[in-house]
Amino acid sequence: MSVIDFQFNYKRDIVIEYKTRKPILDATSGNPLEVFYPFIPCTISSERRKSRSTEGLLDSGSDRVVIPRALAKFLELDLEPAAIPMKVADGRDVDRFVSKVDIAIGRGGRFSDPVEVEVSVPAKGNPPVIIGRGPIFRQYKITFIEAENRLEMKAYRKA
């Protein structure tokens, strides 16, 4: 299996007020408030179809890979109802479906070998692609470098 080293810059985003959908302004500068998230490039494929290069939020607080329903539909996944709901960041339980996909990390011709993972597809909501700990965190030593808004992924090699 090919697991290669990567470095990715975080993705910049503007904080939006939920109700008005307008940018929240920084109290000191008056400029839109910015945040940075560790999104990484990846492709996701099923037995039937393959996504274009997309981005997944690398989430050390998540146990699983989550994809939105639109992507599951595009990939023509056979979704099975999950016996146990997924717990989301605000503590709620959300019903979900599960299926299997292959995920490869990378871009521009540099990709890790695809890894088969079980994905969760929430019954409600529209999350981004979320790449949780398993199995990506078992294949890489991951360093979040917050001061520089970037991350490093080094292939894990047992000593």
State the Cα–Cα distance between residues 140 and 156, nearest whole angstrom. Answer: 5
Cα-Cα end-to-end distance for the chain: 17
State the Cα–Cα distance between residues 118 and 100, nearest whole angstrom. Answer: 4
State the Cα–Cα distance between residues 62 and 95, nearest whole angstrom. Answer: 16
> pLDDT grade, residue 1 (50/70/90)?
low
To the question of pTM greater than 0.85 for the whole model, the response is yes
Closest Cα partner for 44 from 16, 19, 11, 66? 66
Closest Cα partner for 121 from 112, 129, 110? 129
pLDDT tens-digit profile of 42-86?
999 999 999 999 999 999 999 899 999 999 999 999 999 999 999
* All domains of the chain in start order, with CATH: 37-155 (2.40.70.10)
State mean pLDDT over 137-152.
95
Find out whether 9 and 15 touch, Cβ atoms under 8 Å.
Answer: no
pLDDT tens-digit profile of 81-139?
999 999 988 889 999 999 999 999 998 889 999 999 999 999 998 999 999 998 889 89
Q: Is the pLDDT of residue 40 over 80?
A: yes
Q: Is the pLDDT of residue 28 over 80?
A: yes
